[in-house]
Amino acid sequence: MTQRSLRILIIDENAARAAILEEGLRVVSGGEEGGTFLFNHIRDTANLLARIGAVDPDVILIDLENPSRDTLEQMFQVSRLARRPIAMFVDKSDSATVQAAIDAGVSAYVVDGLRKERVRSILDVTISRFHAFDRLQSELQQAKSALEDRKIIEQAKAILMQQRGCSEDDAYVLLRRTAMNQNRKIAELARSLVAAAALLRAGGEHD
């Protein structure tokens, strides 16, 4: 029996997350017996019904908190789309998968009659990709704040060097020792030092 390709529609305003998800699903697609995946991505949700009708998806993956979900679910109930996806996961009794998906912020709509194992593998990948995306976001955030920390420590060192006429190394040792004594982070101490210096300067020069 030949199967047609499985059509997966990703509705996500976030292009980066959609790309990460699609890439992950392609890997599963390669290992699938009988038929590969076809992907479509809708970013803005204007005229959703006509666009979904054109794609005729087997599976729709969408962010749980996407406000278009209300519209989507109602369309499935009243639309005259040839094949209606049924709301929310293939097997109502599989609450562990549903729970995992919701924890990850994923919701999926699946056409009735699709083999459970196929949907399961798609969902598993989607869940792990949503988590990966979150991790990526927070790593990016961490990298950004590490960079900012380094910058502020440089500024604090410059202030100390100027005020005390000491070397860069001495300034750093002073910062580190004070931070340890006060049980604070170096960056935190540097930030208050820079702020205090700016305040004093503003009082004198109005810059």
Interface with other proteins (CB under 8 A): 46, 64-67, 69-71, 73-75, 77-80, 84, 87-89, 92, 95, 98-99, 102, 107
Cα gap 88→11, rounded to integer Å: 15
Least Cα distance to 104 among 58, 73, 135 occurs for 135
CB of 97 to other proteins, least distance (A): 11
Residue 92 or 151: the one with the smaller Cβ distance to other proteins is: 92
Residue 79 or 178: the one with the smaller Cβ distance to other proteins is: 79
Cα gap 104→99, rounded to integer Å: 9
CA distances from 10 to 17, 51, 86, 90, 115 (A): 10, 12, 16, 17, 19
Residue 103 or 169: the one with the smaller Cβ distance to other proteins is: 103
Q: Residue 38: beta bridge partners?
A: 7
Residue 8 or 98: the one with the smaller Cβ distance to other proteins is: 98
- Mapping DSSP to helix (H, G, I), strand (E, B) and coil, where does residue 107 land? strand
